[in-house]
Structure 1
């Protein structure tokens, strides 16, 4: 199998010029992406992000400027974008308060499965590893295109949460999320939980062949999830934004870059004695994050081999 292409907009400013600033590099990444072939005029485009915690204690989520760049590009292609997240209307209100509103990003925010998380579509999982049926949020299910815009960070249940988890737990209903969390009882290394994530991801994208694009925002890399009501010093310096149609290659490239990066002084990474080359989230949380990547690969959702293409 040929290597999958992963586009990479580096956070580092190589020259004092706006063209080298990350928002402009992100624009270049989108221009180089296959989105122009995925979106046709009039398509409804769901952009799945995490809008932050319910108590306003966390603050290192995806910055609205980058969501705006993506929204404007979708509109340029003739698409009709909206942003979406789980937990019903109350979480959408939190997102508006956190800056993800029409004035800042140029798109409406809709709950992924209705105001009370009851608007769901049951989907059978092909060749399930752990979960055979998934409740998919109707806003994503019925959208023409899904852009999976994830913040890469740590997570106590899976070691890491990025593009796979953003869809698996963020585009599904409460029964599905509970079923996947119940898998944590099966082992101590997070294997069952992460295989459940792969099943849920598979179900969500099943009715969108060649209509899903995955983006990892690898800045403010936190030790824990965006749903936690706190933020900490990032464990590694800002890396940039990566994107690919292939979620497996994207997640593998993201984890490799994080693991090869130095740690930030004063962070939990420094306190844990982490160094370049370490499997950082495995050491922090005791869960190997590559399990979810390999599980998605086993399900035929992508390629472990990738070419990193800087834009």
Structure 2
């Protein structure tokens, strides 16, 4: 397979060249105008950010994408699916409130917010996955499947279960209904290291499925109730909640690739990643830590696999941000994401996505 084209611009700006202007030029140079948007419903898949998190993409970026789609005759809407865990985005009403709270409204972005899997996360379409190794029918939010065109607008950052979150994560996990998310997470169940546990109960509070409990000042996780969403890993102040050593996160990454296939197969799609505020963990957290590297830039491509690979390579070329989690870790893996979350292997998703025919890891980087 020939190398895919990935377009890139840095985060430098001037009086006559703002970041939003640079984003518009990047998207158009990458070829978005080659898509026929005329009269087409266009889903712009974005993460609105958990309330309390400040690393999510600013709505100004979404406004640029929506404006281009409308300029080309399309009907854009911003979308995401409800979360599996307890938080500010677990149903459509709370989710829209969270989006508005974080600045994503029709007044600021020029288009509406639609929560793709409905009020309670049950409005889904079963999409057959050809050659799926783990997923035979992906459970995708209905509004995503009703759209004619898919655009992923990704905040590229670290992730405690998948290594990083980029185009594949935004589409695969993000477009899954609540049942779909449960299916993807079901192979990744965490464990408690009781030596580190202080019995604070944060894991109990964050779990939507009553899996953790505190007995004699130590946490335990009921594996029958646990769905493997990994939220307890992120909230533990002592790193006592750890991923099980059974390669389950590899399976999670493969399922994400298969769900991504379900989302974009046989439809026009385009992908944009902003490698800024590269927090160590997902924007699903109600907080965000110091970025692990300096801001890198903006990337765009028709190939989500090449895009994720280009962004990962770019991050790994960056110096470590002083005072970050990455700065505190031993750098033994020669990979920033693995150093932050050693139990993960982000390359599994890339390799499986290539196997599914989603794209190519080889890319030609074109700098603007």
TM range (shorter): over 0.9
Q: Where does residue 58 of structure 2 map in the other structure? A: 63
Deviation at 1:205, TM superposition (A): 1.3
CA distance in 2, matches of 1:288, 1:12: 32
Secondary structure of residue in 2 paired with 1:196 = helix
Q: Which has the larger radius of gyration?
A: 2
CA distance in 1, matches of 2:273, 2:111: 20
Q: Where does residue 309 of structure 1 map in the other structure? A: 366
Change (3 A) 1:300 1:207: closer
Q: TM-score, normalised to structure 2's length?
A: 0.79
Unaligned runs of 5+ in 2: 83-90, 190-244
Secondary structure of residue in 1 paired with 2:52 = coil
User: Does residue 35 of the first structure (1) align with residue 91 of the second (2)?
Assistant: no
Secondary structure of residue in 2 paired with 1:121 = strand
CA distance in 1, matches of 2:56, 2:358: 27
Query: Deviations along 1:169-204, whole A, 9 cap, x unmatched?
Result: 111111111111012148247211101111111111
Q: Where does residue 205 of structure 1 map in the other structure? A: 264
CA distance in 2, matches of 1:174, 1:119: 9
- 2:122–2:179 CA contact under 8 A, matched in 1: no
After alignment, is 100-109 or 179-188 more displaced?
179-188
CA distance in 2, matches of 1:48, 1:126: 23
CA distance in 2, matches of 1:179, 1:229: 23
CA distance in 2, matches of 1:104, 1:71: 11
More helix, by proportion: 1
CA distance in 2, matches of 1:153, 1:4: 22
Secondary structure of residue in 2 paired with 1:197 = helix
Aligned counterpart for 2:147 among listed residues 121, 143, 147 = 143
User: Does residue 74 of the first structure (1) align with residue 74 of the second (2)?
Assistant: no
Aligned counterpart for 1:222 among listed residues 251, 262, 279 = 279
Structure 1 residues 288-307: aligned runs within 5 Å: 288-307=345-364
- 2:163–2:338 CA contact under 8 A, matched in 1: yes
C-alpha RMSD of matched pairs (Å)? 1.6
Deviation at 1:146, TM superposition (A): 0.6
CA distance in 1, matches of 2:285, 2:60: 22
Deviation at 1:67, TM superposition (A): 0.9
User: Does residue 194 of the first structure (1) align with residue 253 of the second (2)?
Assistant: yes
Query: Deviations along 1:129-180, whole A, 9 cap, x unmatched?
Result: 2211111111110111110111111111111111101111111111111111
CA distance in 2, matches of 1:180, 1:64: 28
CA distance in 2, matches of 1:18, 1:62: 23
CA distance in 1, matches of 2:29, 2:109: 22
Structure 1 residues 92-107: aligned runs within 5 Å: 92-107=96-111
Q: Where does residue 114 of structure 1 map in the other structure? A: 118
CA distance in 1, matches of 2:353, 2:142: 23
Secondary structure of residue in 1 paired with 2:24 = helix
Deviation at 1:12, TM superposition (A): 3.0
CA distance in 1, matches of 2:114, 2:248: 35
Q: TM-score, normalised to structure 1's length?
A: 0.93
User: Does residue 280 of the first structure (1) align with residue 336 of the second (2)?
Assistant: yes
